[in-house]
Chain A
Amino acid sequence: MSHATHADHGHDHHHGPATLKDGLWPWMMRWISTTNHKDLGTLYLCFAFLMFFIGGLMSLVIRAELFQPGMQLVQPEFFNQMTTMHALVMIFGGVMPAFVGLANWMVPLMIGAGDLALPRVNNWGFWLLPFAFALLLSTLFMDGGAPAGGWTMYPPLVLQTGDAFPFLIFAVHLMGVSSITGSINVAVTILNMRAPGMTLLKMPLFVWTWLITAYLLIATMPVLAGAVTMLLTDRYFGTSFFNAAGGGDPVMFQHIFWFFGHPEVYILILPAFGVVSMIIPTFARKPLFGYSSMVYATASIAFLSFIVWAHHMFTVGMPLAGELFFMFSTMLIAVPTGVKVFNWIATMWRGSMTFETPMLFAVGFVILFTIGGFSGLMLAIAPADFQYHDTYFVVAHFHYVLVPGAVFAIIAGVYYWVPKWTGVMYNEKLGQFHFWWSAFWINVTFFPQHFSGLAGMPRRIPDYAVQFTDFNVISSVGAFAFFFGQFVFIYIMIQCMRGKGEKATDRVWEGAHGLEWTVPSPAPYHTFETPPKVEESETPAHA
């Protein structure tokens, strides 16, 4: 017995993760060579927050220039670089890696698996990202500057990019490889490594939404890779895929891009649905309403996302039949999305609610995402879209679904799970302050953009006519206030990582159910080395 204890002790000492106390080099090598899903989850999340910060700074350049009419700060060329890079950094560097980070941490804990199925692929998938973004961000210092043709990379404009062009293409390739490895890993883990008794329809909704997201990624990322490769050969090898003069078609790029791009929209939002579907039942102390319809609604949205792409292109001059088809199919998405919102509200109905920070962000998500959904429905109406198209109305719409949508869900998830990760509770008062500050200013930033868009202000312009001034002033003030409020979040997280705060219990939240809450807080470096027994009370539809 004493021998066994001794061996265990030695085991912990040798195989535990290296910390800074072991020296800088071993600590660095731990993070570089780690195959542990928790380490990689942390790396993904830290990387995503760095990118959110960089992308946020770019948005401040945009908002500062747009603070009032006239060109005060930058050249139009640089402004276009900022809008392009802001989008690429936020989408591929911020939101996507943040959700992969949450999946890394939580999917194995939720299904009772010891790690992801392919740990070394997991390491590779993450470490591609710093290289991808080093390539992309280095273009800011090149001849001709960073890509300035918009994140959608429409030819022929994107072909006018300077030295940055091949760097843009290869950065997108690397991001795509990283996403594909990450999603294959998540899908394989979910399908093969669930604890006995964790049947598919007992999986937590976050796991379900990620499984579906993984398939969307696997299906569409190669399409994007193909499209950008054709751009590359058009530019350097004399092909004419998208050059009408050589028999190609510039509109074909848009079709291919949006065949990727529309599922991509759901790649950014489905995991958010999952996070919110975990948080609301916990703080309502009531099981999720309509679990199976939530799963089917997610699957329906994923299916529909493949047949609506051309609603991004109503003004390219499609035949009437095409416009009608894409209008109707797009409107149809409102049905499953509505089901989700109604289910969240039915979950809250007659619950016993408390409003800790994760719940605040989740409720904020439901309301503000739904506002983005309404403007989305308006955009689906093709004749009206001719008015909205490429104006600030669109900017307001997608920022509503992405910032108080996807980003709020990420923040909600981090507050919800950080006690499990670090073993300490975050500062609740500061957390609530962070929510109210963010929720207020994000609306100040983006709500007025609906009005400037309806009044006809085009997107992606560095300067504007004087009648758009008021809404732009308000929007800029909101953006700066929102950005600086996020330092509160950074402070709260640093305090948690340093272990400062009230000790968290294993269950953490009174109403929490699920396997992730059955392991100690902080979660040990290795969990579920032997599969757990799945109790009925730890599954979503528990009675």
Chain B
Amino acid sequence: MSMSTMQKLAAGFAALLISGSAGAAWDFNMPRGVTEISQEVWNLHMLIFGICTVIAVLVFGVMIWSMLHHRKSKGYKAAQFHHSTTAEVIWTIIPFFILIGMAIPAAGTLIKMEDFSDTDITIKITGYQWKWQYTYLDEGIDFFSSLHPDSNRARQTGAYGWGSSAFDELKKVNDGNYLLEVDNPLVVPVGKKVRLLLTSNDVIHAWGVPDLAIKKDAIPGYINEMWTKIEVPGTYRGQCVELCGRDHGFMPVVVKAVSEEEYRAWVAQQKGVEPAQQVASAASVIAAVASDAVAPAAAAEPAKLSKEQLMAKGKEVYDTQCAACHKPDGSGMPPTFPAIKGGKVSNGPVNAHISQIIKGKNAMPPFGSLSDEQIAAVVTYQRNALGNSTGDVVQPDAVKAAR
């Protein structure tokens, strides 16, 4: 009985390893990346790794040779020397010069990385628990970037069990980019020096993408800067790299590097304005997102929404923003994350409900960064679903008034 359990375990383990390696090539090393800086960093990494390897082979070689030959069991008689100034001086000075040899190229690369002159585009990145906000300072574009809803559903505790079949399912989520896909990626043009300003709205986060060899902390109250110039179009992925609370593992970074023309088209689409010179290239894109394009115009005069619209939108917001802590069915995880189902706030006064979402409370971060419409929708949803039925319908203007 126990034998067969052991065999099953071993077979499951083997299957997991095999399916894992079939899914993606084994990455043993740092990526070379797609910028001049990332290539330099990779060279530096390989240089120092090479030096360490050579030293390791020499030092451990001598040590192991000694362990094999200078043994009592081989009748080796111990020498009694215990000092040699010459040897001490040699093995102090040689490492010192090796270090200087490492320090010079490292300092060179570091100085390049800190050169912020002649940047073409500036984007401000703000960290939130647990999403990123991208603000294109020159273009006036501003949006949030959160974990993709598919990944978000898949990463709930218990959503997937153990074993290779669960693993195979997980590999299909977001086309193999489980946990590394967002709803709205950062879009930048290739061949331009992009300056990134970093700050945070709550705790310290860190924004990094290995393929670009950049990583820096986003600190509340401070603005950090870094830059990148991507040479190759493509999608580059990273994650938050500074512990920022419960969902630290679930706020990925996705950067889409596109050609100058595509970037212009994307900017135009985001602004909802068609630049005359780009009508041809942008037209198809804009057509596809026509419904989104009218949204900014509508925001000026908040329209009344039907209860159905609010509920549909509210469910979407709830599943991406609230379900992580309050659970998809609203049962929560008391006492830290109270239940929405039958909860005091969601069945109490409407204004207190709105205000808690905007301002946060205890472990709950403020969600004031959501739009009036999103907050109105999620409040309506929470009050009329998840086991609650207050019948309240909250419109965006109520949220606007509460801010």
A363 contacts B88, CB within 8 Å?
Answer: no
Task: Name the distance in Å between B183's Cβ and chain A's nearest Cβ.
Answer: 17
Q: Is A384 an interface residue (CB 8 A)?
A: yes
A317 contacts B217, CB within 8 Å?
Answer: yes
Task: Name the distance in Å between A322's Cβ and chain B's nearest Cβ.
Answer: 11
Q: Is B155 an interface residue (CB 8 A)?
A: yes
Binary contact track B216-230/A, C-beta < 8 Å → 1, others 0 = 110111101100000
Residues of B within 8 A of A199 (CB): none
- The DSSP consensus for interface residues of chain B is mixed
Q: A residues engaging B (CB < 8 A)?
A: 67-77, 80, 143-145, 148-150, 154, 156-157, 160, 162, 243-245, 249-251, 284-291, 293, 315-317, 320, 323-324, 327-328, 331-332, 334-335, 338-339, 341-342, 345-346, 348-355, 363, 366-367, 370-371, 374, 377-378, 381-384, 386-387, 389-391, 451, 454-456, 458-467, 469-470, 473-474, 477, 541, 543
- Interface with A: B238-246, B256-264, B371-379, B395-403, which one? B238-246
The 7 closest A-B pairs by CB, nearest first: A244-B221, A461-B249, A70-B160, A317-B224, A455-B27, A352-B78, A287-B82
Q: Is B161 an interface residue (CB 8 A)?
A: yes
B217 contacts A352, CB within 8 Å?
Answer: no
Residues of B within 8 A of A154 (CB): 203-204, 243
A335 contacts B95, CB within 8 Å?
Answer: yes
Residues of B within 8 A of A284 (CB): 70, 78
Those of B1-45 within 8 Å (CB) of chain A: 13, 16-17, 20-21, 23-24, 26-31, 40-41, 44-45
B71 contacts A327, CB within 8 Å?
Answer: no
Task: Name the distance in Å between B402's Cβ and chain A's nearest Cβ.
Answer: 22
Q: B residues engaging A (CB < 8 A)?
A: 13, 16-17, 20-21, 23-24, 26-31, 40-41, 44-45, 48-49, 52, 55-56, 59-60, 62-63, 66-67, 70-73, 76-84, 87-88, 91-92, 95-96, 99, 102-103, 106-107, 109-111, 113-114, 154-162, 166-167, 170-171, 176-180, 198, 202-204, 206, 208, 210, 213-217, 219-222, 224-225, 238-250, 333, 335-336, 362-363
Residues of B within 8 A of A470 (CB): 17, 20-21, 26
> What 16 additional pairs, Cβ within 8 angstroms, besides A387-B210, A456-B239?
A67-B162, A80-B243, A144-B363, A154-B203, A156-B204, A157-B243, A324-B107, A324-B110, A338-B92, A350-B79, A374-B56, A378-B52, A391-B241, A454-B29, A455-B29, A465-B177
A346 contacts B114, CB within 8 Å?
Answer: no
The contact sample of 19 A-B pairs, CB cut-off 8 A, is A77-B333, A162-B363, A244-B222, A249-B222, A286-B80, A287-B80, A315-B216, A317-B222, A323-B110, A348-B66, A348-B67, A352-B76, A354-B72, A371-B56, A383-B110, A386-B214, A390-B242, A456-B239, A458-B240
B77 contacts A70, CB within 8 Å?
Answer: no
Task: Name the distance in Å between B326's Cβ and chain A's nearest Cβ.
Answer: 12
A176→B86 CA distance, assembly (Å): 43
Residues of A within 8 A of B56 (CB): 370-371, 374
Q: Write the chain A residue with the least CB distance to B93.
A: A335
Contact of B45 among A70, A384, A467 (CB under 8 A): A384
A74→B155 CA distance, assembly (Å): 11
Task: Name the distance in Å between B20's Cβ and chain A's nearest Cβ.
Answer: 4
